[in-house]
Amino acid sequence: MANNTKLGIWHTTTFQSAQNKEQHNSTVTAGQKRTLHDLGNPSAPAPDARDTKRSAPALRHRLFSEAAPPRLRGSVIERPGEGSDFPSEYSQRRGFPSTPTSTADPLLSLSHPRYGLPRRLVANFAALGIRNIYPWQKQCLLGPGLLQGEKNLVYSAPTGGGKSLVADVLMLKRVLEDEEAKAILVLPYVALVQEKVRWLRNIVNDISRTQDLGQKPAEGQKLWASRADRDTVRVAGFYGANKIRATWADFDIAVCTIEKANSLVNAAIEDCSITKLKAVVLDECHMIDDGYRGYILELMGTKLLCLSQDIQIVAMSATLTNIQTLKSWLRGHSYETHYRPIPIEEHLVYDGNIYPAGTTASLLKTLVQLDGRTQATQSSTQLQPTGIIGQPTFKELKDPVLNAVVALANETVRAGYGALVFSSSRAGCESDALIISQVLPSFEEALPCIQEKRTDLIGELRALSTGLDPKLEQTIPNGVAFHHAGLTTEERGLIAEAYDAGVLKVCVATCSLAAGINLPARRVILHNARMGRDLVGPAMLRQMRGRAGRKGKDEVGETYLCCRKSDLEAVVDLMHADLPQVTSCLISDKRRIQRALLEVIAIRLATSRESLDDYVGKTMLALTATAESIRDNVEASLTDLQTLGFITIDDDSNFQATRLGKAIVASALDPEDGMFIHNELKKALQAFVLDGDMHVLYTFTPVHDLGGVGINWRVFWNEMQQLDESAMRVMTLAGIRPVMINKMLHGGSLKENTPEERDMARRYYRFYLALQLRDLCNEVPIYRVAQKYDMPRGAVQSLAQTCEGFAAGMIKFCEHMDWGALGAALDHFSDRLKAGARSDLLALAKISFVKSRTARIFWENGFKTVAAVANADPNELLPILLQAQPNKARLGVKDEEKYREKLLAKARIIADSASRLWQIEMRQEVEEE
């Protein structure tokens, strides 16, 4: 009973960590092998006693919570035939054939003249560890017309197989061969966009364009490369919260989310600047059949196919089965490989036994024998386990699946490798991380250098505006952390960097983040194969298993899927199931085909019925649906668009987009959401509430994907009771009734059966989110808003970022509708939303590292302008930064000095940023005079 009590203390999760909705965000991480000193190996020599005395017990006492979780002992894994030496080295000593190098095949070097790449670009690739390419990459690049940009390409390669390099080479060739050329790279998630921007900027560093390729300007042509701003390759990222108005003049390579890329292409077609576009890369192209947002890839790709110019489209994925369908759609070359530089060994863990799961035959044999449906007649035919997990000695580990997860993670770390554990929920992530941390070598057993780095990580997390998560405070000392959408971007970034550096040895993530993160590990462990209550699909399972194995660090990757008896047959079916066929989903919901037609009419790419039929005939839909169903859906959609007032027919029988139709396309809405927004803004024009913030904030809340928002009706009721008269008028104008909130508080249900009921439900969700935005704009810290509204911190931060992007769309909507006054009001408040501060701090909030709370403390200490900060000595700013930090534990003299040095470095960055902003302000003043 005592053990159960302890478990309850250390495994209690908050409401916010149990939210079901996961958001896709990602960060690059890896791991590094540690020495035996770092493993807590009892047979290894002890570290220097002076180092231990200086940095272990005393440091832990100062920085970590006084109460420590109970220490547990993980079950031992016996591996028949591999000896009994500990720690187990399981498979890392097995030999694998090495990949050929450029010595054996000169075409495996990117410097080969056949590829036509500039020397500097090849050197930049080499500096990042890419000195040779794989044979499959060579074969793919040398496909017909690809290097010349004459053919499109669709290809498939496993996760970790190097598929991105092929697209990078083709895209960079197009950009470097033409001084006016532009390229777009499309990725599904913001974190992947940010990561790719950093990567590409390193790749194109110090590269001149046509001169590097040995090209000379034609006679009479100006030597354009003498201008530095045109001589370099500019890489820019465009994603949800990014308010930059994308124009070709701002970049050469645009790395975009799906929605931003589509908007960029629409704008370029409409203003006829699309002629500069030479290459488009569609990563994760299997998402085309994702009805929520992936279908926009099909809209964009089809628009590019309709243009008369040559644009090389490169589409890639790790999970394509019907690659020939995409090849036919893109009218290009296809290539498929199953090569992985790091082989993966797959295992199924059931009832304490580990079985090989590499082939369908062994999987089926495993299922038959474990189910007991048949009995093997000869012992030689029986499938023997390759590992046996011992029985747990602690009640906390009595669940066989949890015991297996903990034992496998423990074995990995004690052998000196990193492990990635996938769990089914945020609460599961935190629970798994807590119990794994109680089994691994303790903080005191780690090397002093690792102790110091973990201490630094704790300090950096504590210094964030959100403060230090109490569960991370318990797990990080022992080298474990969790990584899910409930954490803020800053928290996930610090955890990812620590895992990449080997400071953390185990990272526990949610299944739904598998496609949006890059966390390679020696061993991937799946705590069930579920996302929430449902089994993941074959593609998601492949994404998770594909994280195993790290090139340059491991000879092999390993995956272990731990399952229960009730899931055994379904899991076995899942593990050897074929990937689903990728199909178009344009007519699975009328909104999608309506948006497809409205967009091409609004940008005037197709306006006659013949050109519209030609456009639809070039979609992937034309390859996967019957001509009759397509024709019927097009007819019905055109009729609906006319009825809604989005398009009209002119005297020449051509379709024209109305002002409303153009506004919907410009703000990247689908027709149904666009009509809802139009009705909401029309009501606002009649009685916009300007004597408060709530009406603007309500306007900024998104209208899509609100089903995952959990409303705490008690909080909603309490907040409503405190609203002023201005905010109550906003509620009345929105149609939100206090009696309904009271009804929901006492167990009522919010009906969403009819379109009218769904629109009304949207208004309640949006107003609840607007309450959160109000607090954020009034400088309430994210973590306090999360506590107040029972939301994960990461969800609150993501809400603010999403609303920034949505606000930009609402401003464009008003501009196209010629509602200038409303657009100006929204534009002003969008800056407050981005800064998370009141109006008086907007200028200060533009300074790097100065947001919300820090900006207010600067203001209160007399630094009320950018000029004041720019002219301050960094040492003057240090006390203010100390004051702005959240509460921290008392530090020793040496640690306090180190802490102040870090803040002083931050103060220098702040002063430099303020100085640059001030110089810009001064130049603008001079120009105005």
Report the C-alpha gap between 535 and 405 in whole angstroms.
Answer: 18
Report the C-alpha gap between 570 and 534 in whole angstroms.
Answer: 11
Of the candidates 205, 832, 797, which has an alpha carbon nearest to the alpha carbon of residue 493? Answer: 797
Quickly count: other Cβ atoms within 10 Å of residue 323's Cβ: 19
Give the containing element (helix H, strand E) for 755.
helix 755-777
pLDDT for residue 413: 93
pLDDT tens profile 520-542 = 788 999 998 877 778 888 878 88
Hey, which residues does 915 pair with through a beta bridge?
Answer: none
Residue 98 binned pLDDT confidence (cut-offs 50, 70, 90): very low
Report the C-alpha gap between 173 and 175 in whole angstroms.
Answer: 5
Hey, which residues does 423 pair with through a beta bridge?
Answer: 510
pLDDT tens profile 713-734 = 999 999 999 999 999 999 999 9
Of the candidates 831, 841, 797, which has an alpha carbon nearest to the alpha carbon of residue 811? Answer: 831
pLDDT tens profile 446-505 = 888 999 899 889 888 887 878 788 899 999 999 999 998 888 888 988 998 899 888 999
Question: Chain centroid to CA 195: how far?
Answer: 9
Give me the helices (H) in 646-754, please: 659-666, 671-686, 694-700, 713-721, 725-734, 738-745
Hey, which residues does 187 pair with through a beta bridge?
Answer: 257
CA atoms within a 13 Å half-sphere pointing along the CA-CB vector of 764: 26
Report the C-alpha gap between 780 and 774 in whole angstroms.
Answer: 9
Hey, which residues does 483 pair with through a beta bridge?
Answer: 509
CB-count burial class (<10 Å; 0-12, 13-18, 19+) for 43: exposed
- The arithmetic mean of pLDDT across residues 380-401, rounded, is 83
Identify whether 87 is preceded by a cis peptide bond (ω within 30 of 0): yes
pLDDT for residue 615: 96
Quickly count: other Cβ atoms within 10 Å of residue 79's Cβ: 17
Report the C-alpha gap between 663 and 685 in whole angstroms.
Answer: 16
Of the candidates 291, 300, 237, which has an alpha carbon nearest to the alpha carbon of residue 265? Answer: 300
Question: Chain centroid to CA 780: how far?
Answer: 26
Average pLDDT, the chain: 81
pLDDT at 50 over 70: no
Distances (CA, A) of 702 to 48, 167, 306: 58, 34, 32
pLDDT tens profile 255-303 = 999 999 999 999 999 988 899 999 999 998 988 988 788 899 999 999 9
Give the DSSP letter string of 617-666. HTSTHHHHS-HHHHHHHHHHHHHHHHHTTSEEE-TTS-EEE-HHHHHHHH
Q: Which amino acid is at 558?
A: E
pLDDT at 83 over 60: no
pLDDT for residue 375: 47
Q: How many helices (H) and strands (E) does the chain have?
A: 37, 20
pLDDT tens profile 327-382 = 999 999 999 998 888 888 888 898 888 988 765 456 566 666 666 544 444 443 45
Rounded to 10°, the helix 323-330/295-306 angle is: 40
Higher pLDDT, 856 or 767: 767
Report the relative pairing of strands 557-563 and 523-527 from DSSP bridges.
parallel
